Amino acid sequence: MLSKRLSRIEESATIKMGQIAKKLQEEGKAVLNFTLGEPDFKTPEHICEAAKHALDLGYTHYTSSAGIDELREKIAKKTTEENKVDCTMENVIVTPGAKQAIYELMMSVLDYGDEVILLDPAWVTFEAAVKLAGGNPKGVKRIEEEVKYESLEAASSENTKLIVINSPNNPAGYVLSENELKEIAEFAVAHDLLVLSDEIYEKILYGRRHISIASFDSMQERTVIINGLSKTYAMTGWRIGYAVAPAAIQKGMLKIQQHSVSCASSIAQYAALAAFENSQECVNEMVAEFERRRDVIVKRLNKVGLRCLDPEGAFYAFVNTSNYGNGDEFTERLLKDAYVVVTPGSAFGAAGKDYIRFSFAASMENILAGMDRIDAMCTLPSSSKYSR
Ligand code: PMP
């Protein structure tokens, strides 16, 4: 009954863990959930007000498929000024979430048998989107050691079409260094490859600077930037993402958008416009709070021998559990013995098998309670503490 294509992909592991947490909660268990990939803050008031205003004005119909002109122009201006990628609204497509942009891109550029290089571990949707579009993912390990030209070379073949990067990274929390970006860019140019650069966490940084690979020489014509408002403005439910792409690819993605979702929500698009046009202080406040939580988690986990580097961006700690078993085993123990729910690193690729992902998009109160439960469970003395 079901297609062969569908049999190539699994249910989303991150969503599945969230559902386990919810079920235990409904059974009355005092569950602490650290699986979520969404900020726990309210969407800032001025953004909600803009949506109410759009409703009052009757902006409740289809918009043009690529998005309202004002928003596309704003995104082009922001990308040109902040990311140093010289573009116009013709390069921009507004989508119902960044996820949809990723699917539209894969469907636009991949043919059956094309290979796609993913940095392993990689956020779960990349692999699924590649496979649904008929492509084959190839992993290059990137957790603590940097990506090198040679490692990309080793994973590539004559069928390689695309490289996917995501910096700041979900799940591993790194920010790609300028040097790595240069090597990836050189490799892409030398082999005439496209690059998907998922920059959705670009504002959630701890002392690091975001650089878009599209700003490097000869890269804009081969790079599709994926971005969105879900993380930066705590707007996951509004479903607004976007891509900035070479014009031909933007047109390809638009065709798929026209025949699938038509457009992103009209009301949410006006809210997104307000998010860009107003003070960015709300973003700074959220990032400062994430940083406080990050510091607590990293210190407390390292203390019990759960090794983790300081996340440089995004809101996930990628924690090495090998002092206590592999990531799957430790996830199960945490769930059974402490009602603490995390995502096993294996969900993100083979390189993540000795890790768990701990989201700190959870309240400080829950983080402290979770750390106390982990303390009680883990008796190993403090092992090698290290920071990036
Ligand atoms: N890219 C990455 C790397 C993500 O972690 C997520 C959310 N988990 C998304 C894209 C999806 O964002 P959106 O809500 O805009 O679909």
* DSSP per residue, 57-97: TT--S---TT--HHHHHHHHHHHHHHH-----GGGEEEESS
pLDDT greater than 90 at residue 213: yes
Residues 237-245, mean pLDDT to the nearest whole number: 98
Q: What's the pLDDT score for residue 118?
A: 98
**Residue 196 alpha carbon to ligand 1 centre in Å:** 13
Q: What pLDDT, in 10s, does the model give residues 4-43?
A: 999 988 877 777 777 888 888 888 889 999 998 889 899 9
In this prediction, residue 385 has a pLDDT band, given cuts at 50, 70 and 90, of: very low
**Residue 228 alpha carbon to ligand 1 centre in Å:** 8
Whether the CB of 121 sits within 6 Å of ligand 1 = no
Q: What pLDDT, in 10s, does the model give residues 97-117?
A: 999 999 999 999 999 999 999
In this prediction, residue 384 has a pLDDT band, given cuts at 50, 70 and 90, of: very low
Whether the CB of 200 sits within 6 Å of ligand 1 = yes
Whether the CB of 170 sits within 6 Å of ligand 1 = yes
Q: What pLDDT, in 10s, does the model give residues 147-194?
A: 999 999 999 999 999 999 999 999 999 999 999 999 999 999 999 999
**Residue 23 alpha carbon to ligand 1 centre in Å:** 24
pLDDT greater than 90 at residue 236: yes
Q: What pLDDT, in 10s, does the model give residues 119-158?
A: 999 999 999 999 999 999 999 999 988 999 999 999 999 9
**Residue 375 alpha carbon to ligand 1 centre in Å:** 31
Whether the CB of 105 sits within 6 Å of ligand 1 = no
Q: Is 102 exposed, middle or buried (0-12, 13-18, 19+ CB in 10 A)?
A: buried
Whether the CB of 343 sits within 6 Å of ligand 1 = no
Residues 254-278, mean pLDDT to the nearest whole number: 98
Domains parsed from the chain with CATH numbers: 4-42+281-379 (3.90.1150.10), 61-277 (3.40.640.10)
Whether the CB of 167 sits within 6 Å of ligand 1 = no
Query: Of 14, 18, 6, 180, which Cα lies nearest the Cα of 99?
Result: 14
Q: What's the pLDDT score for residue 11?
A: 78
Ligand 1 site-directed mutation target among 103, 203, 231, most atoms within 8 Å of CB: 231
Q: What's the pLDDT score for residue 380?
A: 53
**What's the one-letter identity of residue 153?**
E
Closest atom, ligand 1, to C-alpha of 240: 15
Q: What percent of the chain has pLDDT over 90?
A: 87
The total number of residues written for the chain in this structure: 388
Q: Please confirm whether the linkage preceding 171 is cis (ω < 30° from 0).
A: yes
In this prediction, residue 378 has a pLDDT band, given cuts at 50, 70 and 90, of: confident
Whether the CB of 235 sits within 6 Å of ligand 1 = no
CA distance 62 to 243: 19
Residues 283-298, mean pLDDT to the nearest whole number: 96
pLDDT greater than 70 at residue 383: no
Q: Is 38 or 78 the better-scoring residue by pLDDT?
A: 78
pLDDT greater than 60 at residue 309: yes
Please give the mean pLDDT across all residues of the chain. Answer: 94
Whether the CB of 37 sits within 6 Å of ligand 1 = yes
Q: What's the pLDDT score for residue 18?
A: 79
**Residue 329 alpha carbon to ligand 1 centre in Å:** 27
Phi, psi of 133, rounded to the nearest 5 degrees: -85, 0
Q: Is 333 or 21 the better-scoring residue by pLDDT?
A: 333
**Residue 124 alpha carbon to ligand 1 centre in Å:** 10
